[in-house]
A and B are shown apart, each in its own frame.
Chain A
Amino acid sequence: MALEQMRPVSRRYDEDEHALPTEWVDYYWQTGRKGAPGSLGGATDGFVQVCIQAEELCFGDAGLYLRMPTAALGGSAVSAAGTPEQKERFLRPFRESPHPIWGAMAITEASAGSDSAAIQTSARYDAERDEWVLNGTKIFCTAGEGASQIEGGFVVVWATVDKTLGRGGIKSFVVPAKTPGMKLVGLEKKLGIRASDTATLVFEDCRVASANLLGGRAKAEKKAEPARAGDKGFKGAMATFDASRPIVAAMAVGVGRAALDFLVEELARQGVEIRYDSPPRSQTALERDVIDMQAELQAARLLTWRAASMMNRGRPNSLEASMAKAKAGLVVTKITQKAVELLGPPGYSKKLLVEKWMRDAKINDIYEGTQQINQLIVARRILEYSSSQLR
Chain B
Amino acid sequence: MIDFEPTEEQALIRDTVAEFARGEIRPRARDADESGKIPEDVLARAHELGLIANGLPEAYGGGGERSALTGALVAEELAHGDLSIALAILAPGLLAYPVADLGSEAQKARLLPALIASPGALGTLALQEPRFDSDPYRPRTQARRTADGWRLDGAKCLVPWPETVRHVLVLASVDETLAGFVVPSEAAGLRATPDAYLGIRALPTAELSLDDVKLPAEARLDGAPDGSARALVARGRVGLAALAVGVASAAFELARDYAKERHAFGAPIATKQAMAFKLADMAIEIDGARLLVWEAAWRLDRGEDATREATLAMQQVRRVALEVTDGAVQVFGGHGYIREYLPELLLRNARGFACFEALSLV
* A and B from one complex: yes
A250 to chain B, nearest CB (A): 14
**10 intermolecular pairs with C-beta atoms under 8 Å apart:** A280-B315, A295-B313, A295-B316, A296-B316, A310-B4, A327-B285, A376-B273, A379-B280, A383-B259, A383-B279
| Bound Cα distance from A196 to B280, whole angstroms | 32
* Interface Cβ pair total, 8 Å cutoff: 113
Q: Residue A299 contacts which of B136, B281, B288 (CB distance < 8 angstroms)?
A: B288
Given that A303-B284, A382-B283, A385-B271 are known contacts, is A298 also in contact with B4, CB under 8 Å in the complex?
Answer: no
> How would residues 117 to 140 of chain B score, 1 for a CB under 8 Å from any chain A CB and 0 otherwise?
000000000000000111111000
Establish whether residues A291 and B133, one from each chain, have CB atoms under 8 Å apart when the complex forms: no
The proximity string for A residues 349-391 relative to B, scoring 1 for CB distances below 8 Å and 0 otherwise, is 0000000000000000000000010011011101101000111
Is B311's CB under 8 angstroms from A382's CB? no
Assess whether B291 is in contact with A303, with CB atoms less than 8 Å apart.
Answer: yes
What mask results when residues 136 to 151 of chain B are scored 1 for a CB within 8 Å of chain A, else 0?
1100000000000000
Q: How far is the CA of A134 from the CA of B228 in the complex (A)?
A: 68
The proximity string for B residues 1-12 relative to A, scoring 1 for CB distances below 8 Å and 0 otherwise, is 111100000000
Asked if B132 and A390 sit within 8 Å, CB to CB, the answer is: no
Please state if B295 and A277 are interface contacts (CB–CB under 8 Å).
Answer: no
Q: Is B197 an interface residue (CB 8 A)?
A: no
- In A280-338, the 8 Å CB interface with B consists of 280-282, 288, 291-292, 294-296, 298-300, 302-303, 305-306, 309-310, 320, 323, 326-327
Whether the pair B279, A382 counts as a contact (CB closer than 8 A) is yes
Tell me if A277 and B307 are in contact (CB < 8 A): yes
Q: Is residue A278 within 8 Å, beta carbon to beta carbon, of the partner chain?
A: yes
Given A48-B1, A383-B256, 6 further pairs, Cβ under 8 A: A298-B295, A376-B277, A379-B276, A379-B277, A380-B276, A382-B283
Structural contact, B271 and A299, CB atoms closer than 8 A? no
Q: How distant is A313 from chain B, measured CB to nearest CB, in Å?
A: 8
Q: Does B312 interact with chain A (Cβ within 8 Å)?
A: yes
The answer on a CB contact under 8 Å between B277 and A276 is: no
B270 sits at the interface (CB 8 A)? yes
Chain A CB within 8 A of B230 CB: yes
A279 within 8 A of B: yes
CA distance A195 to B307 in the complex (A): 39
Tell me the bound Cα distance from A356 to B296 in angstroms: 32
Interface residue B292 (Cβ < 8 Å from any Cβ of A):
yes
Inter-chain CA distance A139–B312, complex, in Å, is 41
- Shortest CB-to-CB span from B341 to chain A, Å, is 20
Min CB distance A264 to B, Å, is 12
Cβ contact within 8 Å between B137 and A277: yes
Interface centre among A300, A375, A380 (most CB of B within 10 A): A375
Least CB separation from A313: chain B residue: B5
Structural contact, A279 and B315, CB atoms closer than 8 A? no
Whether A302 pairs with B291 at a CB distance below 8 angstroms is yes
Q: Which B residues lie within 8 Å of A295 (CB)?
A: 292, 312-313, 315-316
Minimum distance in angstroms from B338 CB to a CB of chain A: 25
A327 touching B288 in the complex, CB below 8 Å, given contacts A279-B134, A309-B4: yes
Question: CA of A48 to CA of B3 in the docked complex: distance in angstroms?
Answer: 11
Q: Inside 8 A of A323's CB, which chain B residues have their CB? A: 283-284, 287-288
**Given B2, B134, B285, B311, which contacts A291 in the complex, CB threshold below 8 Å?**
B311
Asked whether any CB of chain A lies closer than 8 Å to the CB of B289, the reply is: yes
Contacting residues, chain A, for B273 (C-beta < 8 A): 376, 379, 390-391
